[in-house]
Structure 1
Amino acid sequence: MTKDVLLTISGLHYDEFSGREDDNEPIEVITPAAYYLKNNKHYIIYEEVVEGMPGSIKNKIRISGEDQLEILKSGLSGTHMVFEKDKIHMTPYETPYGELLLGIYTKDLKVEESDDRINIRINYELDINGDKVADSEIKMCVKAK
């Protein structure tokens, strides 16, 4: 895999509480990123611009084999989210508006690697400050430019 990659992230939250069909629309972002492999762990680094706010969010995705993925955010928002199948991880999530406590229960995590691509799918349950808010899915595709 090359250092310069294209990262596609699509996310979907199944909000069972709102009852509105349009709340379940997928969100997709395509952004350039940097990739490297160190100590058998994949790293993807990219920057996220937040509309209407000065500054950005720096993101680092760390993939440790097929059983753990971490997302580290710093800048306008900060957190260290850990996705590990059949485990719950609690983490503070700092936002410009205050701090939230996220609970992430990973139901399924799939990582598929080839020479020029990494495909990732994560199904998880998200709670905020102890209240379940959604069943969620993230799909990521990292491919050489």
Structure 2
Amino acid sequence: MKKDVLIHVRGLQMMDPEEEQEPIEIVVPGQYYYRNGSHYLRYEEMMDDTAEPTVNYIKMSAQGVEVRKQGQVNVHMVFEQGKKNMTFYSTPFGTLQMGIAATGLELQEEEDNIHLKVDYALDMNEEHVADCYLTVQAQSRDSENLIL
């Protein structure tokens, strides 16, 4: 895969199974790297109207996934199948303690396309708050058949 990629991130937190919820979705340009058996993505995201972007790093491998956000929000989330990982999610409004327990992890690798899907349970301050999923797709930007 080429260094310049188009990254499609989609996530959903299902807090109440009775309620219809809309996924959060972004499509942004980014960079791709492959080192030591892991795929790396880097992209910037605007969280609100301030001029301060949040830089996102995603590390994907057969062992698990790491998501780091640095900027207006700061967090280092680790997703490992069958293991609960604790982290702190810092925002301008305060810091929350989060627990992340991955219940499903799929990574599909092709020449010009990587697709990741993670299902996980989310805890806040030791209480289960949501069942969630996260999908990430990265494709070479000059790929003729972009699928989003």
Instruction: Report the Cα distance in structure 2 between the residues aligned to 1:126 and 1:57, rounded to whole angstroms.
Output: 22
Partner of residue 97 from structure 1, selected from 93, 97, 118? 93
TM-score (norm 2): 0.90
1:60, 1:71 within 8 Å by CA — same for their partners in 2?
Answer: yes
Q: Deviations over 1:83-123 (max 9, x none)?
A: 00010000011111111001001000000000000000000
Instruction: Report the Cα distance in structure 2 between the residues aligned to 1:29 and 1:81, rounded to whole angstroms.
Output: 19
Q: Deviations over 1:34-58 (max 9, x none)?
A: 0111112111000111223341211
Q: CA RMSD in A?
A: 1.2
Give the total of aligned pairs: 141
1:36 counterpart = 2:52: no
Instruction: Report the Cα distance in structure 2 between the residues aligned to 1:4 and 1:35, rounded to whole angstroms.
Output: 6
Instruction: Report the Cα distance in structure 1 between the residues aligned to 2:57 and 2:123, rounded to whole angstroms.
Output: 22
Give the secondary-structure state (helix, strand or coil) at the position aligned to 1:53: coil
Q: How does 1:46-125 map onto structure 2 within 5 Å?
A: 46-63=43-60, 65-125=61-121
1:10 match:
10
Instruction: Report the Cα distance in structure 1 between the residues aligned to 2:115 and 2:36, rounded to whole angstroms.
Output: 20
Note the C-alpha offset of 1:20.
Answer: 3.1
Note the C-alpha offset of 1:16.
Answer: 2.1
Give the secondary-structure state (helix, strand or coil) at the position aligned to 1:85: coil
Any gaps of 5 or more consecutive residues in structure 2? 142-148
Instruction: Report the Cα distance in structure 1 between the residues aligned to 2:22 and 2:107, rounded to whole angstroms.
Output: 24
Instruction: Report the Cα distance in structure 2 between the residues aligned to 1:132 and 1:56, rounded to whole angstroms.
Output: 30
1:68, 1:84 within 8 Å by CA — same for their partners in 2?
Answer: yes
Amino acid at match of 1:20: E
Any gaps of 5 or more consecutive residues in structure 1? none
After TM superposition, the runs of 4+ consecutive aligned structure 1 residues lying more than 4 A away are none
Instruction: Report the Cα distance in structure 2 between the residues aligned to 1:26 and 1:98, rounded to whole angstroms.
Output: 24
